[in-house]
Structure 1
Amino acid sequence: MNFSCKDKEQIEAHGLSLAQVEQQLERFQKGFAPSDVVRAARAGDGIERLSSQMIETYCQAFEQDKDKYVLAKFVPASGAASRMFKDLYDYVDSDKSIEECPQVSELIDNIDKFAFAAVLDDKLKTQGGSLSTYLAERKYKQIVKTILQPDGLDYGQSPKALILFHDYGSQVRTALEEHLVEAANFCVNQDKHIHLHFTISPQHLDKVQSLLNEVLPRYEATFGVKYDIQLSVQKSSTDTIAVNLDNTPARDHKGRLIFRPSGHGALIENLQETSGDIVWVKNIDNVEKDALKTGDYKYKKALCGFLLTIKQKIDAILFDIESKDYSESLKQRIKDLCEKTLRVKLRCESEFENNEGYFDYVYSLLHRPVRVCSMVKNEGQPGGGPFWVGESNPRLQIVEKSQIDLSNEQYNKVFLSSTHFNPVDIVCSLTDHRGNKFELNAFVDENAGFISEKTQQSAKIKIQERPGLWNGAMAEWLTFFVETPIDYFNPVKTVNDLLKAAHRPL
C-alpha cells in the first residue's frame, strides 16, 4: 500500500508503525478464520462444579495463602452509558407517545425506585418544576431529557461508572463505588492496601477522578483500608485502521486516515500494567446491592483458592525442572497435573532426543499465566460461551458467537449445545513461580480477531477488532472454568435493569 508522507506522519503520531498498519490491511483482505469449536464445555467436561465442601476448602486455601501475593482488581469501564439509555433516546427523538414506548413507560411508572430519583428531582427544581409536578402534568419527555442531557444529569454521555446504581436510604452509590465496596471485602492486601485499576475513556477521566476524590476518604474510614487507584485509557497505539468495503483505507472529509478503537482486547496492555500478582477481572456494570454480596464474596474467594491451589502445583514443577531433577516422580506429577487437572494431552517422551528436550517442552507448556473463569448457566443472556477448541488437542476457550461459522452445520450444532456462558468474572495469575510478570502479549492468539461493518459519515466502512480480552487475548493462558450461581450475575445493560431485584431498594 502506498501511503503519502502525511499518512505516514499520521500513523506515527498514532503510535503505530507502517508495518502494523499494513498487517491490519492484510487482515482485512484475508479475514479471520472461524473458531474451530469441537464441543461445548459442560459441567464435568471442562466446567468444574464445586460442592459446598470444596467451596469451604478453597476459601480456606485463599485465606491461608493470599498474603503471599499482591492482590488487585481490574475493571473495564471505558464505555459511555449511551446504550443503556437507547430506548430513552428513541422516545425523545420521536413523536411517539409514552404508551407506544413500553420501556420508557416502565421507567416513568417506577421513577421513584431509581437511585438517581432524588438528584433528578433536585435538577428539575432548578428548572422551575419538580419530579412530582412533572409527573402530574405528564411532562415525561422533559423528565427523560433531564436524565440524558448535559444540562440535566448528563447520563447519556456519562460512563456507567458514574451512574447512580443503588439506593441504601442513608446513601446512594454509583457503579464505581460498588466496586470499591466489593474490593474491600476480598481484595485487601496484608498492608491494608487495595489495588484497583479502572480503564476509563479520556473524556471521562476528570469526572471519575473528581468522584474518587470525594468518596475515597469515606470508604477508607469505613473499611480501615487505603485505596491505590489506577486509572488508564485504551492506548491509541492499539487502534486499527478502518477500510472501505473494497478494503482500501477509509478517509474522513479532510482526507485523513480513519482509525478506530480495536475493542476490549486492546485492554490486555492495560492489564499488563496492573499492580498485582493475582487479579480479579469484572465489568463495571456487574454489581449487586449489599444484600447479595456475601455469597458473591465467598465464590470470589473460592475461585481464587482454586487458582492458588493449581498455581502452587505448577510452580513446584517449574522449580524442579529448573533444578534439572529429572526424576520419575517428577514425570508422574507432570502427567497427573497435565492430564487430570489441565486436561492437556502430553506429547510422548519418545518424541524427544533426551530428557532435557522433554522437560523444556513441559516447561513451555506450564510457564504461562493462569485464569479461572466463572461460568453461569445460560438463560438466554448474550455473551461468550465455554468451548473445547482445536481438533487434535482441544483446549478450553471462551468463544463469542461472532467467532463461530454458524452456516457450518457441525459448528452450529456445537454452538446450540452450549449450556453456559461467560459473565466476565475472572481471577488471574499474572506472575510466574519466581514472581516475574508475564509478557501478556506473548499469549495472544492474533488470529482470533473480528471484522465488522459500521457507518461513518453515512458511508459503510469495515473495522477490525483485536482478539477479545477474555477470548483470543487470553487464548494461550492455562484456563479453568468453574460454575457459579447466576444469582451473582447482575449486569445493567439497560436503565430498567436497575429495577431488578438485585438493584432496586428493599
Structure 2
Amino acid sequence: MIDFSQKDLQQLQKKGISKDKVINQIQTFKEGIPFVKLVRPAVVSDGIQRFSSEEQQEFVQYFEDNKEKLDLLKFVPASGAASRMFKAMFNFVEAYNPSKEPLSEYIERTGDSAVQQFVEQMLSFPFYELIMDRIEGKASNSDEEAHLFVKEMLMEDGLNYGFYPKGLLPFHKYGSESATPFQEHLKEATLYSAAKNKANLHFTVSEQHEEMFKDEENKVGPKVAESSAIKFAVSYSQQKPSTDTIAVDMEDKPFKNNDGSLLFRPGGHGALIENLNDRNADIIFIKNIDNVVVEKNLEEISNSKKMLAGVLKKVQNTAFTHAKSLEGDNVGQAQVDEIKLFLENELNVRFPETYATSSFEDQCAMLRDRINRPIRVCGMVKNEGEPGGGPFWIQGTDGNTSLQIIESAQVDMSNPDQAALLRNSTHFNPVDLVCGVRNHNGEKYNLLDFVDSKQGFITSKTKEGKELKALELPGLWNGAMAFWNTIFVEVPLVTFNPVKTVNDLLKPSHQP
C-alpha cells in the first residue's frame, strides 16, 4: 500500500487526480504493459478497403448531399513545439564557428547532411527573405551568413522559431506572403468541414501558446473568411492536468522531486481523448497540425476527406437502423443474422466462437454491445519506406480479433514472427480520421468508455540525475480508440505531408 503524505494528497487534489488513479498507474508499472499480439497486417481486401474512382466520387457526392444537415468539426492536435524540428540546426549554431573553419570542412568533418541540405536550398524556405533582410550587411562571407541565418531563425533575440509551436511557423510561401499551418487548416476547413457557410475548428494547444494562436486567428481568419465566404468558429483547449501520469523510481515507488513533491509528467497525445470527448458533432475530422499542403493540392486532399466522410455517413445510417431494430421486441433470427453480417463485413467486427452456441437473447446482447460504439474511418497510405504506426489485425487479451492502428513500440521486436508481421505491413497511418461519436438517438458517446488502458507505453527517463520510469497513456488513435468500430480506407499519398524536420519544408508538397 502506498503511503501518501498530506502534501501528496493536496497535490493530487490540485491536479484533479484521484488516489485510486495513481495507485492503478503504479500497479501498471509493476505489472508492465504487455506487447500487443499481431495476427496479421491489414491489407487491401483484408481490413483495408480500396475504392475505384467512380466509387470514391459516389461517396464524395453522398457526403455533399448530406452535409448541410450535419454538425461538422475539424479537430487539430496542435500543441507540438517546433524545437524538435530544429534539433540539427540548434546543434549547428553551437558546434560551428565560421571564423575557425570553412563550412565545407565542417560538413565533411561531421557528416552533417541536414545542415548541408539546409544551406544549399536556403532560398526555398518561406522565411528566407525575411531573415536575409534582418541580417543584411552583418556577414563578411557566405559561411558566416549561413551561420547567422540559422542563429537569427532560432534564437530568442532573433525570430525565436525554436520556441514557437509548429502551427504558427511560416510553412508555405505564396508570392510575398507566407502561410502558417494554422492558416492552411482554415483553408482546408472551407473545402470539406464547412456546412451552412460556417466551419467549426478546434485546436488543442499548450497553455503558453494559446494567445499566439488567437493572434494568428485574428490576423488570418478574416482574410480566409472573405476569400471563401465561410465564417469560422474556432475554439481551443489544453491537455488537462488530470491526464498527467505519475513517474516512479526504478523500484516502482512514486518519484519525488528535490522539493519533496510527486513528479507527474504529461500523458502524451492519448490524453487528448479527454479533449475530443468534450467536443460534440455529427462528424469530426482529425488531422495533425503539421500535415498540410500548398494550395495546388487542396482539391485532392479535400476530395479524399469527403470520400472518407461519405463512407462514414453511409455505414452509420445502416448501423443506426440496425441499432434501433435491436431495441425493439419484434426482431427475429433472420434480422439478427443480417445485423451480424453487417457488423462483420462493414465494420470489421469479429465475434467470439461462443456466439454460435449462445442463446438468441445473448446474441442480441452481443450485437447491441458491438453496434452501439463510436465509428472511425481511417485513411491509410501505402508504405513508401519503414512502417511507423500501421493497420493490423490483433488478438486482444480476451482472445478476440480486432482492427487496430499499432505503433512499432507496442510490438515485441525480440519475437521474430511478430517482427516479421510488422515488416510485412503494406500501409501506414497518416493520422487521417473521420469520426462518428453519436449514437442512433443523437446522443454523444462517452469516449472514455472505449479506451484500452492496457495499450499505453512505459519509457525510461532521467530527472535531476536520477533514473525514472514514465507512463504514456494509450495513443489517441491507438489504445484510446481501441474499442471503437473501425474502417480502414486507402487514400492517396498526397494526404501525408508531415513536417518533422525543417528540411521537410523543401519537399514538393510544401513548395508552391
Question: Which TM-score applies when normalising by structure 2?
Answer: 0.93
The separation in 1 between residues aligned to 2:27 and 2:351, in whole angstroms, is 35
SS of aligned partner of 2:510: coil
SS of aligned partner of 1:255: coil
Residue aligning to 1:47: 48
Cα 1:228–1:419, aligned 2, differ >3 Å: closer, same or farther?
same
The separation in 1 between residues aligned to 2:410 and 2:45, in whole angstroms, is 24
SS of aligned partner of 2:508: coil
Cα 1:177–1:382, aligned 2, differ >3 Å: closer, same or farther?
farther
Per the TM alignment, residue 111 of structure 1 is displaced from its structure 2 partner at its CA by 1.7
The separation in 2 between residues aligned to 1:458 and 1:296, in whole angstroms, is 47
Residue aligning to 2:7: 6
- 1:301 equivalenced with 2:306 (yes/no): yes
- Unpaired runs of 5+ residues, structure 1, are none
1:414-444: CA deviation from partner (whole Å, max 9, x where unpaired): 1121111101011110111111111000000
Residue aligning to 1:410: 417
Residue aligning to 2:134: 123
Residue aligning to 1:188: 194
Residue aligning to 1:177: 183
Per the TM alignment, residue 364 of structure 1 is displaced from its structure 2 partner at its CA by 1.0
Residue aligning to 2:475: 468
Residue aligning to 2:247: 242
Residue aligning to 1:82: 83
1:371-393: CA deviation from partner (whole Å, max 9, x where unpaired): 01111111225531110011743
Q: How many residues align structurally?
A: 498
Residue aligning to 1:35: 36
Match of 1:488 among 468, 490, 495: 495
Give yes or no for contact 1:338–1:346 (8 Å, CA) kept in 2: no
- For 1:40-119, list aligned pairs within 5 A: 40-95=41-96, 98-99=103-104, 100=107, 101-119=112-130
Give yes or no for contact 1:56–1:302 (8 Å, CA) kept in 2: yes
Opposite residue 153 of structure 2, the aligned amino acid is I
Cα 1:110–1:480, aligned 2, differ >3 Å: closer, same or farther?
same
Opposite residue 494 of structure 2, the aligned amino acid is D
Per the TM alignment, residue 352 of structure 1 is displaced from its structure 2 partner at its CA by 4.0
- Unpaired runs of 5+ residues, structure 2, are none
1:440-467: CA deviation from partner (whole Å, max 9, x where unpaired): 0000001101000122233322110000
Give yes or no for contact 2:340–2:367 (8 Å, CA) kept in 1: no
Opposite residue 154 of structure 2, the aligned amino acid is L
Per the TM alignment, residue 317 of structure 1 is displaced from its structure 2 partner at its CA by 0.4
- 1:423 equivalenced with 2:434 (yes/no): no
Give yes or no for contact 2:430–2:495 (8 Å, CA) kept in 1: no
Per the TM alignment, residue 345 of structure 1 is displaced from its structure 2 partner at its CA by 3.4
Give yes or no for contact 2:132–2:149 (8 Å, CA) kept in 1: no
Give yes or no for contact 2:271–2:476 (8 Å, CA) kept in 1: yes
The separation in 1 between residues aligned to 2:288 and 2:333, in whole angstroms, is 45
Opposite residue 119 of structure 1, the aligned amino acid is L
The separation in 2 between residues aligned to 1:173 and 1:64, in whole angstroms, is 31
1:100-134: CA deviation from partner (whole Å, max 9, x where unpaired): 23212321222221111232234335xxx46xx56
Match of 1:327 among 329, 332, 340: 332
Of the structure 1 ranges 257-266 and 109-118, higher mean CA displacement relative to structure 2 is found in: 109-118
- For 1:208-227, list aligned pairs within 5 A: 208-227=213-232
The separation in 1 between residues aligned to 2:388 and 2:420, in whole angstroms, is 18
Give yes or no for contact 1:372–1:481 (8 Å, CA) kept in 2: yes
Per the TM alignment, residue 224 of structure 1 is displaced from its structure 2 partner at its CA by 0.8
For the aligned residues, what is the CA RMSD?
Answer: 1.8
1:200-231: CA deviation from partner (whole Å, max 9, x where unpaired): 01111111111111111111111111111111
Opposite residue 139 of structure 1, the aligned amino acid is E
Residue aligning to 2:294: 289
- 1:165 equivalenced with 2:171 (yes/no): yes
SS of aligned partner of 1:230: strand
SS of aligned partner of 1:92: helix
The separation in 2 between residues aligned to 1:325 and 1:285, in whole angstroms, is 51
Match of 1:312 among 314, 317, 321: 317
Match of 1:500 among 498, 504, 507: 507
1:378-412: CA deviation from partner (whole Å, max 9, x where unpaired): 12255311100117431100011000111112211
Opposite residue 115 of structure 2, the aligned amino acid is V
Match of 1:155 among 151, 161, 178: 161
The separation in 2 between residues aligned to 1:437 and 1:327, in whole angstroms, is 28
SS of aligned partner of 1:267: helix
- Using the aligned pairs only, state the percent identity: 41
Question: Which TM-score applies when normalising by structure 1?
Answer: 0.95
The separation in 2 between residues aligned to 1:197 and 1:434, in whole angstroms, is 24
Match of 1:378 among 380, 383, 388: 383
